[in-house]
Amino acid sequence: MTRPVLEARGLVKRYGRVTALDHCDFDLMPGEILAVIGDNGAGKSTLIKALSGAVQPNGGEILLDGKPVQFASPNDARAHGIETVYQTLAMSPALSIADNMFMGREIRQSGVMGRVFRRLDRRAMEEFSRAKLAELGLMTIQNIHQTVETLSGGQRQGVAVARAAAFGSRVVILDEPTAALGVKESRRVLDLIQEVRSRGIPIILISHNMPHVFEVADRVHVHRLGKRLCVINPKEHSMADAVSYMTGASVPDNVAEPA
Amino acid sequence: MASADHYEDVVKSRGDEKFAEFEPSKKGLWGHFHDALHSTPALVPLIVLVAALIVFGIVLGGRFFSPFALTLILQQVQIVGVLAAAQALIILTAGIDLSVGALAVLCSVIMGQLTFRYGVPAVAAVPLGLACGTAIGAVNGWLVSRIKLPPFIVTLGMWQIVLAVNYLYSHNETIRAQEIEAQAPFLQLMGMKFNVGGAVFTLGVVAMLAVVLVLTYVLKSTAWGRHVYAVGDDPEAAQLAGVNRHRTLMSVYMLVGFICGIAGWVMIGRFGSVSPSATTGVIGNIQSITAVVIGGISLFGGRGSILGAFFGALIVGVFELGLRMSGADPQWTYLLIGVLIITAVTVDQWIRKVTQ
């Protein structure tokens, strides 16, 4: 059996008297798209935040390639090759595509200009951005200097996915990537997700959109009441099954409903 | 897929349909002009500045267009110019600093008092004054970034505090120009004049130009500059994207304090004396905000350039000198500047529209 790329064992996170994560387990296998679904308040965003370093769990451990890791901040997780596309996209509208791709990890010029005058290597960053966008089939972007605010919702999502794919060497986490998009734009983003997967990077996809989840996911992690209820194979279960599991209307065969 | 609804298949089968193409839409000359303004916001104040120069040049003739008169404008705006550069930095982070003028006066007073009351050599008193400015800037920055108070409130309070400290500490005594000249000429260094073909420059003017140029470079070409814009644009997004919001804000406020210190030193050069009741302490903030707004920097942060603020300061200077030379009532200057502020923001709103 292959070892998970990213796993969590017995994660606990409490906000005051509310337990958002209750000894939660999580496994992400190499090269797969794992969807995480769950009702609102089930704790899936806390789980994702713990995995991406935005939240520090009170207990349990996170293992990356079998080795325990601790993320004090999103930058820590990023340093380990875990990239997250947030639902808000985390982009600065007034800055260019290249500026946004490299935000927080800019490339400086070599030599005196870079070391003493801290001059950015614009050309290198622009070429890299262009190459990454082209890889994901977003070559239609003609002007890399374009500010992000001039892009449509789908294009912005595309740039955000490209940023994550470019730097996420281990894991890419996508939080509701299609929630704000139209049907056609969603389609394009789903293609992008599969494109990223085809390059061997495993993806965690958080989504409320069952058709999208069932279309692209290899496995579906159903989150309920702060922990993993079950992991189902989308080919063996229907969407109705998944929804009834996550709402508690029915219980999967091999699981005893807690509480 | 287990379920039978394939309602998105239509889109899938037409997958080659165009999506997210970035073809530039056709636009006329006007559209291109709009685009240019959108990508280079400092263009608007530059156009206004050139227009103002031409109009006053036509009306006043060679009297106005002499090297002497034009460099006089530079000398008159040197203090406001330095303060406007500082103010622009803060406004880029979506803040506002009401304490810049008072801080400049306090720094000049500290430099003077250190020299004359404690006998600190002027060469050391100036850096100490600059350090005080930086320290007060750090307090502002800490209150804004850590305690999360609105910059307006923090600096409104700091403005009053700094002004009061300034009077209390100096006992409201002015250090006269002759004394400084005799005992500590280094304090007046920024007032040193040199002549280039009839054009009179002071070191203060050079300092202003240096501050503007260095900030322009840093904001445009370094990671720190990009972070300043990103934090001003959307602090949450910048943070998630990996920018250290706190460190960026702290560095901005500290740098602004330092630049206010430079403005204080420039003030000593300009006036010769050190006066705690210099008007800059009371109106410096409004003057700098005026220059910044006319310079096309958005008060909501993240948009605009230091050069714009510099042009804004120059526009005010051109109006002041031009109207004075043409013998108009000085109130006309204020009236026109008022009109200019409102026009500038209106134009800014239009430019900000991505599509027309």
- pLDDT value of residue B266: 96
Domains of chain B: 69-345 (1.10.3470)
Tell whether B302 is within 8 A of chain A (Cβ): yes
Judged by CB atoms closer than 8 Å, whether chains meet at A88 and B237 is answered as yes
The helix/strand/coil state of B18 is coil
Calculate how close chain B gets to A237, using CA atoms only, in Å. Answer: 6
Tell whether A139 is within 8 A of chain B (Cβ): no
Query: What DSSP letter does each residue of A18-86 carry, written as one string?
Result: EEEEEEEEEEE-TT-EEEEEE-TTSSHHHHHHHHHTSS--SEEEEEETTEEE--SSHHHHHHTTEEEE-
Say yes or no to pLDDT of A168 above 90.
Answer: no
**Percent residues over pLDDT 90 in chain B:** 69
- pLDDT value of residue A142: 63
**Max avg pLDDT among A160-174, B149-163, B238-252:** B149-163
Judged by CB atoms closer than 8 Å, whether chains meet at B15 and A185 is answered as no
Provide the terminal-to-terminal Cα distance of chain A, rounded to the nearest Å. Answer: 32
- Of how many residues is chain B composed? 356
Calculate how close chain B gets to A247, using CA atoms only, in Å. Answer: 19
> CA A21, CA A15: separation in Å to the nearest integer?
10
Which segment of A67-71, A98-102, A111-115, B95-99 scores lowest on mean pLDDT?
A111-115
Structure tokens, B65: 């267009």
Partners of B22 on chain A (C-beta within 8 Å) are 140-143, 146, 155
φ, ψ (nearest 5 deg) of residue A204: -105, 125
Bridge-partner residues for A24, per DSSP? A11
- pLDDT value of residue A138: 72
**B285-310: average pLDDT:** 92
pLDDT in tens, B224-257: 999 999 999 999 899 888 899 999 999 999 999 9
What mean pLDDT is reported for chain A?
87
Judged by CB atoms closer than 8 Å, whether chains meet at B1 and A215 is answered as yes
Short-list A178, A183, A182, A172, CA closest to A209 = A178
Dump strand ranges (E) for chain A: 6-15, 18-28, 33-38, 59-64, 67-69, 82-85, 171-175, 203-206, 219-224, 227-232
Q: For residue A92, give the nearest of B3, B8, B302 by CB distance.
A: B302
- pLDDT value of residue A192: 86
Q: For residue B226, give the nearest of A95, A150, A188 by CB distance.
A: A95
> CA B320, CA A53: separation in Å to the nearest integer?
55
Tell whether B168 is within 8 A of chain A (Cβ): no
- pLDDT value of residue B17: 47
- Going by pLDDT thresholds of 50, 70 and 90, the confidence category of residue B6 is low
Q: Which residue of A has its CA nearest to B242?
A: A104
Check: CB of residue B280 under 8 Å from CB of residue B107: no
Which segment of B57-66, B80-89, B264-273 scores lowest on mean pLDDT?
B57-66
- pLDDT value of residue B355: 47
Rounded to whole angstroms, the maximal C-alpha distance in chain B is 94
Bridge-partner residues for A33, per DSSP? A203
Please identify among residues 219-248 of chain A the ones whose CB lies closer than 8 Å to any CB of chain B. 234-240
The H or E element that residue A215 is part of is helix A210-216
Short-list B82, B126, B132, CA closest to B103 = B132
Say yes or no to pLDDT of B3 above 50.
Answer: no
pLDDT in tens, A71-112: 988 888 989 999 999 888 889 988 999 999 998 888 888 888
- pLDDT value of residue B335: 93
Short-list A41, A39, A51, A1, CA closest to A19 = A41
Short-list A7, A13, A46, A54, CA closest to A29 = A7
Say yes or no to pLDDT of B153 above 80.
Answer: yes
Tell me the Cα Rg of chain B: 24
- pLDDT value of residue B1: 44
Structure tokens, B19: 């999506």
- pLDDT value of residue B356: 40
Provide the terminal-to-terminal Cα distance of chain B, rounded to the nearest Å. Answer: 44
Tell whether A156 is within 8 A of chain B (Cβ): no
> CA A180, CA A162: separation in Å to the nearest integer?
18
**B258-267: average pLDDT:** 97
Please identify among residues 29-68 of chain A the ones whose CB lies closer than 8 Å to any CB of chain B. 54
- Of how many residues is chain A composed? 259
- Going by pLDDT thresholds of 50, 70 and 90, the confidence category of residue B10 is low
- pLDDT value of residue B196: 86
In the sheet where A6-15 sits, what is the strand order? Answer: A18-28, A6-15, A59-64, A67-69
* Domain spans, chain A: 90-167
Mutate one of A48, A85, A103, A175 to test the B interface: name it (highest B CB count within 10 A): A103
**B300-317: average pLDDT:** 93
Count other Cβ atoms within 10 Å, centred on residue B214: 13
In this predicted model, which residue has the larger pLDDT, B165 or B242? Answer: B165
Check: CB of residue A26 under 8 Å from CB of residue A11: yes
> CA B302, CA B225: separation in Å to the nearest integer?
11
